Structure 1
Amino acid sequence: MKQRATVVCRVGTRILLVGKANSRWSLPGGKPEVGESFEAAALRELIEETRLHAIGMQYLFAFVGTRTCHHVFAAHIDERHSPVPSNEITRCTWAKVTDISDLDTSVSTRGIVDVLALNRRYDPREQSRHQRADAFVQNLREALHDVGLNGWTPAL
């Protein structure tokens, strides 16, 4: 099974998606180089694909897709900086969490967003778009202890 470092960047209720020419949208990330940690790969891939530098990085969970195990990290970025497509990436966008299911995204990207948008108080099949977006933000905040970067690993 392939191993991949995958990065979630959030601004409000929007997340960063990247795309190669003629491909689906996905979360930034890629394969670690020989001897490279997943965290280092996540940081490197974020810079290579978007030119964004993470202020901090936090491991969230592993998401196992059909052929790839995604080691998912949340990156804290300076919201004043905009992503710039770089290397093999030809486009970047900030997409609303609630629009992910309507976009042409990879199956794993939809799955990772679905995991982060789960709200234990509601049946996922009956969640409103607002509840889904709110759950996504709250789950990331809880996972990251999003208060003054407490809980964040400083970027390497």
Structure 2
Amino acid sequence: MSQSRELHSTVICLQAGKILMVRKEAPEWSLPGGKIDPGETQLEAACRELREETSLQLTDAQFLGHSVLPGEEHWLYRMNVAASMQPRPSHEIVECRWFSVAELSHVAVKPTNVELLRREGFLELR
């Protein structure tokens, strides 16, 4: 059986009740994370992607689980970010921003990320 799904490590970063989202050149926001490189563990990929996209170090991360979605699999981590730590866009990211749950309903969010946030209880089904 061939590998038909992309493998991703994804991090839900929380600070003062808000969720960190990142944006590339496209208008759609997403959670920090990305594809797992060959030979890399899921945790190593989460650390690398978070650092590449936001300049934040993954510390005291809680593994939330493995989610299988159409076309993608995600190993999901949660990290509380101290108020003294501010993300900075880097690599291919043009903007990092903290959103309340209410604010997320007013912006375009990658559908797979909406589903991950729903599964983890951050967003309610509408």
State TM-score, norm by structure 2. 0.87
Distance between the aligned counterparts of 1:101 and 1:12, measured in 2? Answer: 18
Q: In the alignment, what sits opposite 1:63? A: 67
- Summarize the alignment of residues 3-152 of structure 1 with structure 2, pairs less than 5 Å apart: 3-117=7-121
What code does the residue aligned with 2:39 have? G
Which 5+ residue runs of structure 2 have no aligned equivalent?
none
Q: What number of residue pairs does the alignment pair up?
A: 122
What code does the residue aligned with 2:64 have? L
User: Could you say what the CA RMSD is over the residues aligned between the two structures, in angstroms?
Assistant: 1.9
CA positional deviation for 1:13: 1.7
What code does the residue aligned with 1:47 have? R
Higher share in helix: 1
Distance between the aligned counterparts of 2:95 and 2:15, measured in 1? Answer: 18
Q: 1:118 to 1:104 in 2, by over 3 A?
A: closer
Instruction: Kindly name which structure, 1 or 2, has the bigger radius of gyration based on alpha carbons.
Output: 1
Which 5+ residue runs of structure 1 have no aligned equivalent?
127-156
Q: 1:28 to 1:125 in 2, by over 3 A?
A: closer
Q: Sequence identity, in percent?
A: 31
Distance between the aligned counterparts of 1:81 and 1:125, measured in 2? Answer: 31
Distance between the aligned counterparts of 1:15 and 1:111, measured in 2? Answer: 15
Higher relative CO (Cα under 8 Å, sequence separation at least 6) belongs to: 2
